[in-house]
Chains A and B, each alone.
Chain A
Amino acid sequence: MDFRLSEDQLLLAEGVRDYLAGTHGPAVLRRLDAGPNRDPAIWQGLVAMGLPGLCVPEAQGGLGMGLVEAALIALECGRACLAEPLVDTAFVAVPWLLARGETAGLGEVAAGTRKIALPHAANPWVADGDGTALASVDPLRNLATAPAGASDDPHLFNLGALMCAAQLVGLGEAMLGQATEYAKIRQQFGQPVGAFQAIKHQLASVAVAVEFARPVVWRAAAALQAGEASAALHVSHAKLAATDAAILAAETAIQVHGAMGYTYEVDLHFWMKRAWALAGAWGSRAFHLARIDAGVIGGSHPIGPEHTFA
């Protein structure tokens, strides 16, 4: 029993974090917002990192990794507010196609020449899809109308929800960081506002929420990877915990920024809007709550101290 991420997994995530911090900062988000919001150069950078092929089998030019690694990278994509459709292509569609044995064309994904946007009955849109454009509150999110008769496959749904949860934790961490940095430099009443306990305590509460959402995401990723019978419940737990933490982070971050937080000029809004978007994507809060409820109150899932890893 070892509920820890391995050194290799942490190094992988750190490498992606550093890369995105260096190449996908707020200035890039502002540029994408002002012009075309997809940039082949950014995508090529992700390809050079091997990320579209993260879950593609090595025989097809990928890295052959699993859902825990994918969730780790999805968290970093959230932290960087990545605009390119990496998560949907590489961490939702690829694992789903692999699970169905549909391996044709995955080499092209690893090579970066194929992106996959999968509709699902749970979503009234397809992110980066081909249908008629729909406007999202998130200026970096390209939505299209969903085709009729979209799949309602539960595994696809769970992959989508899990990767949303991972991104939401990353978004929450990023917003906590932005609000904290702002509180250190913004001076009022002759001191940084971050010296006031009213600010400190709100940010500390966000830190608590994020800290205890993160391991729930790892638990869900491991459960889905291993095909555990309880995987759906764990995915819903992850989506619920991550959504609540991210929304708390967003609302606290704008409050700490004060009136500046309500402006378009402060970068916070990119992260906040992504969190709003992902909070409802791949199953509403009510849906995920009901799935946990069915197992926990309904009695089909073993609960109690001796069932920590049920």
Chain B
Amino acid sequence: MQLAYTPAQQAFRAEIRAWLAAHVPAEPLVTLECREGYDSHVAWERTLATGNWGMVTWPEQFGGRGLDLIEWLIFEEEYFAAGAPLRANQNGIFLLGPTIMEFGTDEQKARFLPPMARGEVIWAQAWSEPGAGSDMAAISSKAQLEGDHYVLSGQKTWSSRAAFADWGFGIFRTEEGSKRHKGLTFILFDLNTPGITRRPIRQLHGETGFAELFFDEVRVPVANRLAGEGEGWNVAMATAGFERGLMLRSPGRFQATARRLVELYRQHKATASPAAREAVVQAWGAAQAYAYNTYAVAAKIMAGGKIGAEASLNKIFWSELDRTMHRTAMQLLGAAAELKQFGDGSINAWLEGYIFSLSGPIYAGSNEVQRNIIAERLLGLPRVGAG
């Protein structure tokens, strides 16, 4: 255990801190779940790319800086400390990118990763279907091989970013009559391919960030298949592991929320309950615990270790922490909690954050599914009912 940053790590922190101080927009961007907000967030991705900050851990040839996971954590800490915008690019850089690195051909890496790192192509995920939410193996959308193309048909839904994004990824049934986890194939597709219809779905907050996708005889080149035909389930599980595990939600995000919550508490101290006060203290503690754990996992992965079903522990912890912190903030705000904008015109980010935090225990695999995974794979309890 060595709890000091090296001079090189300190210099890196100073570098990113200075760059962010010079570039982060002075005013918070409007939510990326609307046209205007999406466009400004994509513009921010391209600004990040001008500093070569798109995805610091990737090899330089793919648009990264070849940095290690500790440096990535330092980057993330500074990123959230600076109040920089959320990443429009998250499905690409945190989920699909690592998946392509693991399963893609050299051609696919060269083709897809650099534009992803530069924020030129924004990715939507297309996991769920109307009949396949938590039970993703119930997927029925098809991809039929015809020559050097797959022909996609079916429907995906609740696809994050799909209202505005450029490309999407998902798994499709390539084997006629196959069941459950078998016969599925992981396919990447341009969202502007003829035959794809996007129907934006209005979300809880009233904006339209995710969408339904309808596939009607959509022709996609075989070159867009990731890994082999029929191997889609394993590839998707790896992607989901990245989603729940280390990268999607770095600790800096929650440490920043905890700090804002402490500041909010100080403003509302006179009217706050002792229970809210304890919740604020516990929020700091939990965000710190998550950070310590992430540092330990990062060091383990750097030493050649892997993160498996433990990712489910993380996902439950951060999603429930986020909801608790925002609920506490709503309590502290009292009658002002319902205002979309405060009297001074500033956006009620706690309200937006609270609404978004309610999706945390649902997306990336519901927390009920995560608890099943923990019980069955980490604790070894018997599986029942799953095919």
Chain A interfacial positions (CB closer than 8 Å to B): 1-6, 9, 68, 176, 180, 183-184, 191-192, 194-197, 199-201, 203-205, 207-208, 211-213, 215-216, 218-219, 222, 226, 237, 240-241, 289, 292-293, 296-297, 303-309
User: Considering the chains assembled together, what is the distance between the CA atoms of A262 and B371 in angstroms?
Assistant: 26
Chain B interfacial positions (CB closer than 8 Å to A): 1-6, 9, 13, 17, 70, 73, 76-78, 80-81, 251-253, 255-256, 258-259, 262, 265-266, 277-278, 280-282, 284-286, 288-293, 295-296, 299-300, 303, 310, 312-313, 316-317, 368, 370-372, 374-376, 378-384
29 of the cross-chain contacts (CB-CB < 8 Å) are A1-B4, A4-B299, A68-B1, A191-B382, A200-B372, A200-B376, A200-B381, A201-B375, A203-B374, A203-B375, A204-B370, A204-B371, A208-B316, A211-B293, A212-B293, A215-B296, A219-B292, A289-B278, A292-B281, A292-B285, A296-B281, A297-B277, A297-B281, A304-B81, A305-B76, A305-B255, A305-B256, A305-B259, A309-B3
Q: Per DSSP, are chain A's interface residues mostly helix, strand or loop, or mixed?
A: helix
User: Considering the chains assembled together, what is the distance between the CA atoms of A280 and B54 in angstroms?
Assistant: 49
Task: Name the 4 nearest CB pairs between A and B, nearest first.
Answer: A200-B375, A305-B252, A215-B292, A204-B371
Which residue of chain B has its CB nearest to the CB of A302?
B259
Partner of A2, one of B73, B258, B299, B310: B299
Partner of A1, one of B5, B277, B382: B5
| Chain A proximity of B39: nearest CB distance (Å) | 27
Query: Could you tell me if B251 and A305 are in contact, using CB atoms closer than 8 angstroms?
Result: yes
Query: Could you tell me if A2 and B255 are in contact, using CB atoms closer than 8 angstroms?
Result: no
Which residue of chain A has its CB nearest to the CB of B315?
A208
Partner of B313, one of A9, A184, A191, A211: A211
Cβ contacts under 8 Å, B81 to chain A: 304-306
Query: Could you tell me if B375 and A1 are in contact, using CB atoms closer than 8 angstroms?
Result: no
User: Considering the chains assembled together, what is the distance between the CA atoms of A208 and B370 in angstroms?
Assistant: 11
Partner of B290, one of A195, A212, A240, A306: A212
Query: Could you tell me if A194 and B375 are in contact, using CB atoms closer than 8 angstroms?
Result: yes
Query: Could you tell me if A218 and B1 are in contact, using CB atoms closer than 8 angstroms?
Result: yes
User: Considering the chains assembled together, what is the distance between the CA atoms of A219 and B73 in angstroms?
Assistant: 17
Query: Could you tell me if B372 and A184 are in contact, using CB atoms closer than 8 angstroms?
Result: no
Which residue of chain B has its CB nearest to the CB of A219?
B292
With A200-B372, A289-B281, A292-B285 known as contacts, the answer to whether A1 contacts B379 (CB < 8 A) is: no
User: Considering the chains assembled together, what is the distance between the CA atoms of A6 and B299 in angstroms?
Assistant: 11
Cβ contacts under 8 Å, B316 to chain A: 204-205, 208
Cβ contacts under 8 Å, A297 to chain B: 262, 265-266, 277, 280-281
Query: Could you tell me if B382 and A184 are in contact, using CB atoms closer than 8 angstroms?
Result: yes
Query: Could you tell me if A197 and B372 are in contact, using CB atoms closer than 8 angstroms?
Result: yes
| Chain B proximity of A7: nearest CB distance (Å) | 10
Cβ contacts under 8 Å, A196 to chain B: 384
Query: Could you tell me if A212 and B255 are in contact, using CB atoms closer than 8 angstroms?
Result: no
Cβ contacts under 8 Å, B253 to chain A: 305
With A3-B295, A208-B313 known as contacts, the answer to whether A303 contacts B284 (CB < 8 A) is: yes
